Structure 1
Amino acid sequence: MTAVRQEAATGMSIGTVLDRLRPDFPDVTISKIRFLEAEGLISPERTPSGYRRFSIADCERLRFVLTAQRDQYLPLKVIKEQLEAIDSGVATVGAVDSLPRRPRTLAVAPGEVSPEEFRADREVRISRDDLIARSGIDERFLGDLLRSGLVVPGAAGFSMSEMRVIGIRVEQPQNQPVLLLRESNGDRYLPIWIGQTEATAIALEQQGVEPARPLTHDLIKDLLEAFGHTLREVRIVDLQAGTFYADLVFEGDVRVSARPSDSVAIALRIGVPIYVDEAVLAEAGLVMPDEREDEVEKFKEFLESVSPDDFKATDG
């Protein structure tokens, strides 16, 4: 059975849906998909165990919604009305796509406008080499821009790489869970041996399972929302004596030290980016063979050939 047929027969996990959408919509998150579900724009099926299972049609419906938001700036209410028209047979996807787009207009802002008004809600951090490649400038010109203050690196400079969570696997026979991260714009992986409780919390969130009562990391998310605090990002900042260290970074650059496993579990629930310091990646990062394109299969093969003693890098 081909992968497409298997997905059509059994449905896709929320993580698989993210992988299908992110090439076109890099900022889409699990939280975003859950929000669109709560707004009634998609209705994935649920397994008896509570797992979401998305059909190919669900995935294409999400693509329709995200495209309408990005390209036509349509509010969700209008998008929902379009979907209802398609569902009822009143309109077709082609007819909806051909509707005139909302015109872009310029408005005169009262008073002085600060550059801060145009700052994005979410930081997108890129490496120094990536900045040079995207902008088409050279090292010397970048140095001039830095010295003049026209380009100002963030608090972490150019030394952090954004990561995405590949998944959790339990290594046998030690029964030791392993968390695997991969560079969003690179080929390096970071394996971290973690505890069973944290592994379960990460796996449940990736699979879209909502517990009947909030678990610890759900409670932390709820507390942050209740007290009005904003978690901006998670950083894995150090590796000492075989133990990884992470920081939760809040508004105002307030930082709280935490284990990477707890930090990742919280980041997945809130939908904030995860970064790893370049020094940590240089020491513990791995480049897996490219013979297999499936990352999960590569992960399995990798685990069969190593043990925690090969790295002695754990979650603490």
Structure 2
Amino acid sequence: MDPEAIDSLSRVAHGGEADPQLLDFSANTNPRTPSGVATVYEAALPASRQYPVDDYCEFRAAAADYIGVTGNEIIPAAGSLTGMRLLFSVVVDDGDSVVVPTPSFGEYDREIRLQGGTPEFVPHDEVMAVDPTAHDLVIVCNPNNPTGESYETAALRSLADRCAAADTVLCVDEAFLDFTDRPSMAGTPGVVVARSLTKIFGLPGLRAGFLVATGDLRERLDVARPAWTLSTPAAAVGAHCLKDTEFVEETCEQVAAERERMRDRLETRFDVAPSDAPFLLCETDQSVDEVVDAARDRGVVVRDATTFRGLDSHIRVAVKRPKQNDRLLAALDV
């Protein structure tokens, strides 16, 4: 990590509201969790008096089965962001050039700078056309946050092939891919996939996720990862959730239906971006502060999306349960 970079950087703004009296649409997490989570967590607590078994066999097996790879390709992480920090620490050296999509997840920029790398910002809809020979790492967010669009599989595979030929690592952040019918890039040589249990399973505080990598890069990541990466309860709950594919299917159907219903209403006031994710990016011709404040006065929190690089007139709203979504729509006067 670059000590000078630490002195020049600050924290990144995120969604999330701590006030329980407000309905939070600023964070894109599932309002539902799989059944049995509390029971599994409580059952794991007694074992927390000992260190976790560092191979995480059950968690790796569940993650591998969920995503369609072998267990040894899974690198456990305390959330996908922790996994990406591990990846960047392994592959990014001082001065390395890293393609970062924009607008996109703000932590990419900060994490690359913390490792001494140089972010090269590319519009998110032009990332598939980048020349990887000019860069040391390429980052793709699929679907992209905050815009919501996912990339065509053929375009992603073409980029992966070009990256492999250039010996450039491709990192694909698939935090929201569970909400789509797109295939994962997991198991593709030269590609490191980052996955999160936060979004689809509605457990942001659990801090559980994983990377998927192959070959020598997988070996290096597994050696470099911190010992006891996941707490015992996080590993147990994570494995439990990853086995509940019926919950995932139901969630995807519900989110897709509600997303389109919300879009129809929101488009009466905002310019709404296409989305395959559990959120909608809305451009307004009014003051963003006024829109955000008016919604909050009505008990609803929406994300001020001007905190994303390149956006200056946008809000982002999550997709939740029908009655919750109705409250959002009323708060936004649509």
Whether the TM-score (by the shorter chain) exceeds 0.5 is no
TM-score (norm: length of structure 2): 0.24
Name the larger-Rg structure.
1
TM-score (norm: length of structure 1): 0.25
